[in-house]
Amino acid sequence: MVVGGGQAGLAAGYYLRRAGLDYVILDAHSRPGGAWQHGWNSLRLFSPAEYSPLPGWGMPRQDGEEFPTAGHVVDYLRTYERRYDLRVRRPVRVREVRPAGERLAVETDAGSWMARYVISATGTWECPYVPDIPGREEFTGRQLHTVHYASPEEFRGQRVVVVGGGNSAAQILAEVSRVADATWVTLRPARFMPDDVDGRVLFGVATRKAAGGAGGGVSDLGDIVMVPSVREARERGVLQPRSMFVRLTDRGVRWADGAEQPYDAVIWCTGFEPNLTHLAPLLRGWRQGKVATEGTRSVDETRLYLLGYGDWTGPASATLVGAGRTAKATVTDIAFRLQGQS
């Protein structure tokens, strides 16, 4: 049983099908495409299509675009699902997975399934994280997370503060700052990758890391890829973050020196947490964050595997190409264990 029909779930389905194992993928979305169908309008991959394949079939290039749009990725995932005739049931929302003797019971809004092994691949998009900053309830302006951001036009002429030190914050700041008075704040100093580093270099680093090679991982290069829009923002002089404000006020923010500044909106580009509430009966000691794993297999529940939640489930596992690598290792382990049980 695979819970989640995004990139990690489809990669798992590919290898399960190839191994000849009986499986079903349960996807809460009504359409294929996973979290990519919810990204903001200008969201793009960091690398050309050929560096972002799922197993078996590479992503076709997008006409006139070096870096594919989110819409192109959705089309690719939809076609990939059809190409390999993957067994996806949607929309089916999994409420919980619990022990049931020698098997696991998967309870959903469309009935129950029994499975010998469960692969959880629900991602993080449905669990946006916002830090507990004093005054959040007092602020009378607009607050939204990355998941609710669509385009800069809704902020034209406003005063906006963008919070976060990663790629989403830098890219959203780059376009919002063209139409609004935008301020960028980060909890820690921003770490920019060299201009010549994009998804092609990250692909190579992640590949070497996955193969057990020496050297650091992708995060050692920095946090922010200097895509064209971010480089252009740097040239305009707006890519200069301030240290985090100490609280929100009713009309804006208060800085560490006591000065207050008015703002119309706060965009929280502060990341996500794993979407694992459905696994609570299996992981009773789990706290928000990482789950103890050996590879992708849960230490606490050995019939459970986790794909695509971040580097703790495999190098670059939350990327298209990384999802394929970790899915292959996961299915290989499941097939080995099933063979031993037969």
Write down the CATH number for the domain with range 142-268: 3.50.50.60
Residue ranges, comma separated, of all CATH 3.50.50.60 domains in the chain are 2-127+272-341, 142-268
Closest CA to 300 of 285, 320, 317, 313: 285
E strands in the chain: 2-3, 25-26, 88-89, 94-100, 103-108, 111-115, 118-120, 142-145, 159-163, 181-186, 242-243, 247-248, 252-254, 260-262, 265-268, 293-294, 297-298, 304-306
The Cα 214–Cα 202 span in angstroms is 15
Walking along the chain (342 residues) 10 residues at a time, the average pLDDT comes out as 97 97 97 93 86 93 90 97 97 97 97 97 93 96 96 97 95 97 94 75 55 50 80 94 96 97 98 92 71 91 94 86 92 94 70
Per CATH, the homologous superfamily of domain 2-127+272-341 is: FAD/NAD(P)-binding domain (3.50.50.60)
Pull the structure tokens for residue 163. 């919070």
Quote the pLDDT of residue 200: 59
Quote the pLDDT of residue 218: 47
Quote the pLDDT of residue 322: 87
CB 296 within 8 A of CB 313: yes
Quote the pLDDT of residue 178: 97
Quote the pLDDT of residue 210: 53
